[in-house]
Amino acid sequence: MIVLQSSGSSQTFSFIPRTYTSGNTYTIKINNESTNKEVFSQTSTSFTEVDYYYQYSNTFTLVEDTFYTLEITEGSTLIFRDKIFCTNQTVADYTVNQNQYTTNTTTNEFVFI
């Protein structure tokens, strides 16, 4: 799973494609899983190669706490598919209910016999 932020600046994700030929045209599509609507579509002829994987950078318009599907195709051939989760929290400290959960305090006393 790829984790991105709801930011107006450029972001980068890494991926390992099934096949890759330099110079071919690839289509990158991102769909919102909740609404099943396309939120990003771009074509690219090159990705940044780093060791054994590739990177793609662009500015994505994503909504926080939302899941997306990412598909990279070469023509009609799917070369990569993954999920994207958008959050502004740091991944190491991520919590589903940040700043929403409060603990209950009670005056119940338990008596053990």
Q: What pLDDT digit, counting tens, does each position of 51-66 carry?
A: 899 999 999 999 998 9
Structure tokens at 99: 């700043």
Number of folded domains that form the chain: 1
Q: What pLDDT digit, counting tens, does each position of 2-42 carry?
A: 989 888 899 999 999 999 998 899 999 999 999 999 999 99
Q: Find all residues with CB under 8 Å of 23, minimum gap 6, and list them.
A: 45, 46
Residue 7: inside a domain, yes or no? Answer: yes
111 pLDDT tier (thresholds 50, 70, 90): confident
Q: What is the pLDDT of residue 102?
A: 65
Cβ neighbours around 46 below 10 Å, total:
13
Residue 99: inside a domain, yes or no? Answer: no
Residue 100: inside a domain, yes or no? Answer: no
Residue 101: inside a domain, yes or no? Answer: no
Structure tokens at 79: 């070369």
